[in-house]
Each structure stands twice: as structure tokens, then as C-alpha cells.
């Protein structure tokens, strides 16, 4: 059973300690990533020198093209022909300590191993995406070997541009398009959100005193705060609710949507109303806006679940309330596509790529601070749910791309 908040402001054989804390085969997102400053100016796409990362921004009014800022960082890799890669942000923008930064991190890792020059394009206005994409495809200085588009928000524009620029290779994150020059990578958001629900459902009826925060053992309510109320985030919500009910069908889930991915205050207001109404754990799928949920958890002395990256690491100021995070290894996906581009092996990544629990591409990791305090039943339930999903004994609502 779910109560929906309008979002007006009133309203995701392992037994070792390291595994329980979510130590991964590759770091999800190391704290302290250095992102170049973003400056908003209209102009022409500029090319930097070889072996460097450049940061650009696109004009928010749709009337200008991205312009290169003067800030660069050198990349590694062997000498030879430079591979030029551009990455365009989602509406949440870079510096979200989650989705966009993970995508960028994978490219930065590839640039340490190969001769790759990265150009970041910060564009938070979806109405500008078609223009930004076409300018990058038409650029000759540099001529981009790959353009990475962060988020399904780019899909509509790319449906036109992928066909209009058949010689331009694109990577689309969280969606796919049936074109030979598009590598669509979608992580199983629904599966990791089901796991987040298992974590919340397991803990909400238990005691957990930690650093002044606590759960209410008599509570039967947990919460969810989403970004945009649409197909993709609906899959997070419905799958989270299914995971909660897999643990205990008598538990309730309250739901609220912000309407965007950047408004931390509205996220805070919604989460606060959920905590006030009896929820003691809230899971967010709201990108950068999710920091407002963590602040609300601290104010209410309750707990929250992060998304995309291990947010107890990327946002250490909130690690006292982050019980766990539903993570997806976007960094490994962007690394894989960049490597295929360098090696002229596009066929290895082209098409629709769905990555989930079976591929070890998504999972719930326990918080760096709180995780050690959780009972063993948490990891037992998470593993049981994972095996049931992979074996087909549990059907997770929706799909990787939405409901």
C-alpha cells in the first residue's frame, strides 16, 4: 500500500566484513573527484590540446553553443592517435556525486590508460539537447570519436541526430535507440531498487541506535522520494515497494515526487513530511536533489538509502544516516565503450546492453559508517532476494528502462 505525496513541500558464499561493507571489485565513485569549474558563456565548440580533459558548458537559453573553459587536466595513456570523447550531462549536471560523476569517472579511468581527450559539456536544459548533440557531431576541431549522453533525457533528441549523423558514434545511458551508431547502456534500476526495498523492509521493524539516530520498531512505514514522476523513476518506486513487501506485505510505503533532479529543498520537504508521518527509512531516486533527503534524515534522527553511487562515501557528511545505497556501475560502462572506441571495436558495444544483478552491474552496498551496525539478516535477505531474481523465482515490476 502506498500513499502518494504531491511534492509541494507538505507533504537500493559472502560472509567477510569487507563484503558486508560493500567493498567492490572496482571502486564505485572515489570521493574527491576533481571536476573543472563550469562557466556559462555562448560561443563555438572549442578544441583543446592533445592529452587533456576540457570542460565546457552550453547556454541555458538555447541560443548558444558550448564554449571551452580554460581549465584542463592532463590524461595518461600511451603515445599515438588521440581519441576525442565528449560527455554531455543530464539535467542534474556534473558534481551530483552520483549519476553524472560516475559516467565521467569511467572516461577518466580510460584516459589514464589510453590516449583520450575528454570534453565535458554541462547542459541542464533538456530543450537544448538536440542542438548540443548536433554541434558536437558537426565539430571538426576536434572531430569526436564518441559522444556520451548521460540519461534518457537525451533520447528524443538522439532519435533525430543518430540518423542525421550516421558517422558519429554515440553512447546513450539509461536508454537505447535502434541505430548502428548507438551503444545503449541501461542498468537494471528496478532490480537494485527492489534490493533497496529489501534493506528498508528488513530494518524498519528493528532497533538501530546509531549516533543519535534510531529506527522505530513499531513502525510499519518507509518512504520513497523520486525526481521526475515518469516511467523511469516510477520503476524505481514500484520495484522498491515490491522489495519492501517481499520482506513483509503488511508494510506501507509513502511516495513523493520533486518534479526535477536538482531541488534539494523540495526533496527535504517531502522527506520531512514522510518522517513526520512515521517513516523511519527513506529511499531516494532523485540524483543531486537527494541530498535534501539526507539532510531531512539527519534533522529527524532517522535513516535514508542512497542511489547510483555509494553515497556514504561520496557524501561523507551524511554517512551517519545513510544505511546503504543502491549502486550501478556506470563508470564501468563508460570505460568499456571508451575502450571499444579506442580499439575500433564498436560492434562489441553497439546496440542495447541491459546490465543487472546477474552481471554484477547493480547491487545494494551497506553504508560505510552504519553498515557494520546492521544485523546479519540484512545480508542474508539481500542475497536471498538476489538469487530469487536471477533464478526467476521473483519477478521484479517494470523493466530496466521504466514502467
pLDDT more than 70, % of the chain: 80
Return the residue matching grid coordinates 573543472: 36
Identify the pLDDT of residue 56: 54
Identify the pLDDT of residue 17: 31
Q: Could you say which of 3.40.47.10, 3.40.50.11890, 3.40.50.2300, 3.40.630.30 is the CATH number of the domain covering 189-327+362-391?
A: 3.40.50.2300
Going by C-alpha positions, the residue among 281, 233, 279, 223 that lies closest to residue 259 is: 233
Identify the pLDDT of residue 126: 94
With 50 as the cut, is the pLDDT of residue 374 above it?
Answer: yes
Q: What is the DSSP letter of 73?
A: E
With 80 as the cut, is the pLDDT of residue 65 above it?
Answer: no
User: DSSP letter string over 18-67?
Assistant: HHHTT--SS-S--TT----------B------SSEEEEEE--TTSS-B-E
**Which of 79-83, 119-123, 282-286 shows the lowest mean pLDDT across its residues?**
79-83
Question: Residue 203 to residues 215, 321, 327: CA-CA distances in angstroms?
Answer: 8, 13, 19
Identify the pLDDT of residue 26: 34
- Model confidence band, residue 302 (pLDDT cutoffs 50, 70, 90): very high
Q: Which three cell numbers stand for residue 60?
A: 541555458
pLDDT more than 90, % of the chain: 77
**Which of 1-5, 69-73, 193-197, 227-231 shows the lowest mean pLDDT across its residues?**
69-73
Identify the pLDDT of residue 219: 83
Write phi, then psi, for 158 (nearest 5 degrees). -70, -25
Range 83-187: architecture per CATH: 3-Layer(aba) Sandwich (3.40)
- Mean pLDDT, the chain, as a whole number? 85
Residues forming CATH 3.40.50.2300 domain(s) in the chain: 83-187, 189-327+362-391
Cis check: omega of the bond before 273, within 30 degrees of 0: no
**Which of 27-36, 163-172, 309-318 shows the lowest mean pLDDT across its residues?**
27-36
Q: Report the alpha-carbon distance of residue 117 to residue 1 in Å, rounded.
A: 50
pTM: 0.77
Comparison of pLDDT for 19 and 386, the residue scoring more: 386
Going by C-alpha positions, the residue among 262, 330, 322 that lies closest to residue 298 is: 322
pLDDT digits (tens, 9 = 90+) for 341-357: 999 999 999 999 999 99
- For 160, other C-beta atoms within 10 Å of its C-beta total 12
Amino acid at each position: 500500500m502506498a500513499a502518494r505525496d504531491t511534492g509541494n513541500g507538505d507533504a537500493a558464499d559472502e560472509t567477510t566484513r569487507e563484503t558486508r561493507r560493500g567493498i567492490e571489485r572496482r571502486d564505485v565513485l572515489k570521493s574527491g573527484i576533481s571536476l573543472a569549474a563550469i562557466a556559462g558563456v555562448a560561443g563555438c565548440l572549442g578544441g583543446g590540446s592533445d592529452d587533456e580533459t576540457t570542460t565546457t558548458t552550453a547556454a541555458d537559453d538555447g541560443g548558444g553553443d558550448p564554449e571551452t573553459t580554460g581549465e584542463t587536466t592532463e590524461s595518461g595513456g600511451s603515445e599515438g592517435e588521440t581519441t576525442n570523447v565528449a560527455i554531455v550531462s543530464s539535467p542534474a549536471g556534473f558534481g551530483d556525486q552520483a549519476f553524472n560523476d560516475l559516467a565521467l569517472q569511467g572516461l577518466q579511468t580510460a584516459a589514464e590508460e589510453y590516449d583520450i581527450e575528454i570534453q565535458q559539456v554541462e547542459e541542464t536544459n533538456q530543450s537544448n539537447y538536440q542542438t548540443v548533440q548536433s554541434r558536437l557531431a558537426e565539430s571538426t576541431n576536434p572531430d569526436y570519436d564518441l559522444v556520451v549522453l548521460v540519461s534518457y533525457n537525451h533520447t528524443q533528441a538522439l532519435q533525430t541526430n543518430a540518423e542525421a549523423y550516421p558517422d558519429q558514434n554515440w553512447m546513450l545511458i539509461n536508454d537505447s535507440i535502434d541505430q548502428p551508431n548507438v551503444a545503449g547502456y541501461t542498468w537494471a534500476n528496478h532490480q537494485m531498487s527492489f534490493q533497496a526495498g529489501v534493506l528498508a523492509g528488513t530494518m524498519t521493524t528493528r532497533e538501530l541506535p546509531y549516533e543519535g539516530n534510531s529506527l522505530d520498531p513499531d513502525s510499519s512505514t518507509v518512504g520513497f522520494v523520486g525526481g521526475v514522476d515518469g516511467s523511469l523513476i516510477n520503476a524505481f518506486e514500484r520495484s522498491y515497494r515490491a522489495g519492501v513487501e517481499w520482506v513483509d506485505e503488511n508494510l506501507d510505503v509513502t511516495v513523493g515526487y520533486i518534479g526535477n533532479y536538482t531541488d534539494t529543498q523540495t526533496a527535504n520537504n517531502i522527506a520531512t513530511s514522510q518522517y513526520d508521518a512515521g517513516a523511519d527509512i527513506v529511499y531516494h531516486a532523485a540524483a543531486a536533489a537527494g541530498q535534501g533527503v539526507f539532510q531531512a534524515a539527519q534533522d529527524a534522527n532517522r535513516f535514508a538509502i542512497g542511489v547510483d553511487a555509494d553515497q556514504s562515501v561520496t557524501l561523507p557528511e551524511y554517512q551517519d544516516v545513510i544505511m546503504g545505497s543502491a549502486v550501478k556501475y556506470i563508470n564501468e560502462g563508460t570505460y568499456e565503450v571508451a575502450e571499444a572506441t579506442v580499439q575500433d571495436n564498436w560492434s562489441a558495444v553497439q546496440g542495447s546492453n541491459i546490465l543487472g544483478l546477474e552481471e554484477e552491474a547493480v547491487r545494494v552496498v551497506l553504508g560505510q559508517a552504519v553498515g557494520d551496525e546492521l544485523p546479519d539478516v540484512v545480508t542474508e535477505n539481500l542475497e536471498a532476494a538476489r538469487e530469487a531474481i536471477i533464478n526467476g523465482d521473483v519477478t521484479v515490476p517494470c523493466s530496466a528502462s521504466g514502467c
